[in-house]
Amino acid sequence: MLKRTHHCAELRSADVGQDVVLAGWVNNYRDHGGVIFIDLRDRDGITQLVFHPESAEAHEAADRLRHEDVAVARGKVVSREEGMANPKLPTGEIEIDCTDVELLNKAETPPFVPDEAHKVGEEQRLRYRYIDLRRPRMMDILRTRHRVAKIMRDYFDEQGFYEIETPFLCRSTPEGARDFLVPARLQSGNFYALPQSPQLFKQILMVSGMDKYVQIVRCFRDEDPRADRQAEFTQLDLEMSFVEADDVMDTCEELMRRIWNQVLDVEVPAVRRMPYAEAMDRFGSDRPDLRFEMELVDVSDIAGQTEFKVFTSALAEGGIVKAIRVPGGAKMSRKETDGLAEWVKQFGAGGLPITKIEGGKVSTGIAKFIEPVSDAIVERMCAEDGDLICFGVDAKSTVVHRVLGELRVKIAQQLDMIDEGQWEWLWVVDFPMVEWDEGDRRWKSLHHPFTAPVDADLDKLESDTGAVNSKAYDLVLNGSELGGGSIRIHRPDVQQRVFRLLGIDEQEARMKFGFLLDALRYGAPPHGGIAFGLDRIVMHLCGTDNIRDVMAFPKTQNGADLMTEAPSPVDERQLQDLSLRLIGPVTES
RNA sequence: GGGGCGGUAGAUCAAUUGGUUAGAGCACCGGACUGUCGAUCCGGAGGUUGCGGGUUCGAUUCCCGUCCGCCUCGCCA
């Protein structure tokens, strides 16, 4: 086999005259009867090969090349004549005048041609992932992903972090997402759980005195996937000793600065901070997208002066009325606003009262009900002619926030109000430690049960649980949560109190987290950390909203790998080894 | 578990209120062509309309069930 000398994105005018050998896949072929052109593609790019009839043997071989054949060719780098350069290719100034070509592997006709010109459905892409990954776009994404991981490792190495691996076969813990279980053959009837995150291990590492830990690690959560969520995903996980929240945030901010600078040549300014309560109040979200306005404005007092039943009955039940002003939104049609009204129902809204502003007054929609307070509304909302006002009304403020929070994003997208080149970073801080779960009738951690309450709130832990804030922080970029973390509890007594108020009694805490409570008793340094979704970071850098695009081998919404056809039934023998018997129907595939 | 959209040639899509032999550009095969680069021109082959059932003289089209993919609610400490 000819030994390759260069890759397919390497050669330029300066290399003219060199004898070279290139190897790769046939991206395209153009047979002109006499001269034949082959676009040879490898991981890095494309170079045009030329075959002239004078090199009879090579010409004849080239004549048989088709899409995705694997070949290696020898030739001389020649300059393309005036007007024949291809400005679309970095290598477009030159071509290889080939004297030899060797077909290394004939390809069957591929199910699809891996270039951007041919559209392919995602199902086919996943089934033939090896071909899909050949597309320059996918190569670029995986290259970016590699670079991000490299920048992370270099950065944390400089900062004195150790990369330490933690187990995949773990103890199942209560709280949190559903665990993926792995039957333990050596202890029949018992199970390991795949880690939802290495949370406990990294805290243990701090107790061990490792000081600073980092890991790029796979995590598993057995919940239904979404466009930006997979059951199996990757975190940048880190933990630091003897630090406070600011230290962790500063460390991570600098990392993001470096990544955005090196990958996109974008400067990340000092990241502002916003308390959770303010984020919810102004944006109806704990991860507000600050690229556009449309803030939530409380109009409960004005709404209370109307006779509009929707408003008054919600207020009578202790609810609130908030509104957002959509600049220029009056141009939306009845059909469009009706569509939004239908859309918000999924978030618990009864409907979506709206009105438009015309001649300085409310007009259309619910105008006839709120006519008497028109001036107050216009003033409070700073509304102008041509605006649309959308109201969020409910007996529960959480519903109002959710509805308007989702709505402002939806409208911003629909009305094209988002500048795609803009990056709005934000630390959300001062989270409540817990929130009340009405369904389960108990307190649940907003973050996780190891998050430290702020010192000033320690006394309120039992007496005013809902008012306790935690030392937690989330990094938000353009309305998406990149990661979150906290300062941890490092005192066993505090940890025990938190477990207790989460409804994890002494015995259960002992059983499930005994090792952590023990570890905290044997000299635990104050510590804290954070975890980022690596996949989400790469999604932002590559400009995709599909997490499957940034994973080499993702799974479908059904949890299937269409290429390997996992999951699959297993032999009866395997089940026997594990002391398992199936009691449910087996899914056919 | 719920809601929505989709499944037709290798791939991407089309097919009138149910009506003749299910079409198109791309890919594939054959031919022509010595400067293309999404080459061009001529010709050809290629279909269990996801699967099962039903209504009908007749179903890609209507109904029921089921499988698969996507979006989403629930879920995601």
Q: How far is CA A324 from CA A220, A405, A496, in A?
A: 38, 10, 43
Distance between CA atoms of A230 and A556, rounded to whole angstroms? 9
Percent of chain A residues past pLDDT 90, beyond the cut: 93
A567 preceded by a cis bond (ω within 30 of 0): yes
pLDDT the model gives residue A122? 95
Give A316-343 pLDDT, tens digit per residue.
999 999 999 999 999 999 989 999 999 9
Q: Which nucleotide lies closest to A32 by the C1' atom and the CA atom? A: B33
- Strand B nucleotides, any atom under 7 Å from protein beta carbons: they are 1-2, 10-13, 26-29, 32-40, 67-77
Residue A435's CB is within 10 A of a number of other CB atoms, namely 14
> Rounded distance, CA A94 to CA A86, Å?
9
Task: Give the pLDDT confidence score for residue A441 in this predicted structure.
Answer: 86
Tens-digit pLDDT profile for residues A261-279 = 999 999 999 999 999 999 9
Estimate in Å the CA A181 to C1' B22 gap, whole number.
49
Task: Say how far apart CA A492 and CA A524 lie, in whole Å.
Answer: 9
Question: Would you call A238 exposed, middle or buried from its count of C-beta atoms within 10 A (0-12, 13-18, 19+)?
Answer: buried
* pLDDT at residue number A589: 57
Indicate the average pLDDT of chain A.
95
Give CATH 3.30.930.10 domain extents, chain A: 140-274+426-550
pLDDT tens readout for residues A289-307: 999 999 999 999 999 999 9
Q: What is the CATH number of domain A13-105?
A: 2.40.50.140
Tell whether the model's pLDDT for residue A359 goes beyond 90: yes
Ranges of H-type helices in A345-440 = 367-370, 374-381, 397-414
Give the residue with minimal CA–C1' separation from B77: A176
A570 CA to B68 C1' distance (Å): 22
Q: Is the ipTM of this complex over 0.90?
A: yes
Q: Give the type of residue at A234.
A: T
Contact A376, A303 (CB under 8 A): no
Look at residue A200 in the predicted model and tell me its pLDDT: 95
Within chain A, which residue ranges are assigned CATH 2.40.50.140?
13-105
A294, exposed or middle or buried, with CB in 10 Å at 0-12, 13-18, 19+? buried
For the segment A167-195, the average pLDDT, to the nearest whole number, is: 94
A515-541 pLDDT, tens digit each = 999 999 999 999 999 999 999 999 999
Q: Say which nucleotide is closest to residue A66, CA to C1' distance.
A: B28
Nearest nucleic acid nucleotide to A87, CA to C1' distance: B37
pLDDT tens for residues A27-75? Answer: 999 999 999 999 999 999 999 999 999 999 999 999 999 999 999 999 9
Report CA(A292)–C1'(B64) in Å, whole number. 48
Amino acid (one-letter) located at A427: W
Residue A18's Cβ-count burial label (10 Å; 0-12, 13-18, 19+) is middle
State the pLDDT confidence band at A174, using cuts at 50, 70 and 90.
Answer: confident
Per-residue confidence at A579, pLDDT binned at 50, 70, 90? very high
Find out if CATH 3.30.1360.30 is the number for domain A292-418.
yes
| Cβ within 8 Å of residue A149, ≥6 positions away | A216, A534
Asked whether the predicted pLDDT for residue A25 surpasses 70, the reply is yes
d(CA A528, CA A454): 13
pLDDT of A183 above 70: yes
Tokens for A506, please give them.
């002494």
Considering only CA atoms, which residue is closest to the C1' of nucleotide B13?
A: A119
Indicate whether A140 pLDDT > 60: yes
Please report, rounded to whole angstroms, the spatial distance between the CA atom of protein residue A121 and the C1' atom of nucleotide B22: 22
pLDDT of residue A97: 97
- Nearest nucleotide to A484 (CA to C1') is B77
Q: Distance, angstroms, CA A118 to C1' B7?
A: 19
Distance A415 CA to B37 C1' (A): 39
| Confidence band of A76 (pLDDT split at 50, 70, 90) | very high
What class is the A140-274+426-550 domain? alpha beta
CATH 3.30.1360.30 domain extents, chain A:
292-418
pLDDT at A246 over 60: yes
CA–CA separation, A236 vs A197, rounded Å? 10
Percentage of residues of chain A with pLDDT beyond 70: 100
